[in-house]
Amino acid sequence: MKARIIITLKRGVLDPQGKAVKGALTNLGFDQVKDVRVGKVVDVELDGVEDRAQAQILVEDMCKKLLANPVIEDFSYTLEEG
């Protein structure tokens, strides 16, 4: 089972990296860019986990214990067989 976890900053949390990227895009002439937020994507390959429900529990546990900081970050994920 493969999991793709997307970790983004919560709304309202300052994102200096996103601001820098927005500035760089504007400098390159992309005037249509109104806002940029930068987050992380973590692709996890799970071995011996065939059950979707079990994978969900595992991934949520990983996010809460290590991958995401619940104070400032939200996470979402998708699961893919194989």
Please tell me whether residue 21 binds its own copies under the rule CB under 8 A: yes
CA distance 64 to 82: 24
Residues 43-82 close enough to bind its own copies by CB under 8 A: 43-49, 58, 61-62, 65-67
User: Residue 76's beta-bridge partner residues?
Assistant: 6
Whether 4 and 80 have beta carbons less than 8 Å apart is answered as yes
Please tell me whether residue 37 binds its own copies under the rule CB under 8 A: yes
Binding site for its own copies (CB under 8 A): 6-8, 18, 21, 24-25, 28, 30, 32-49, 58, 61-62, 65-67
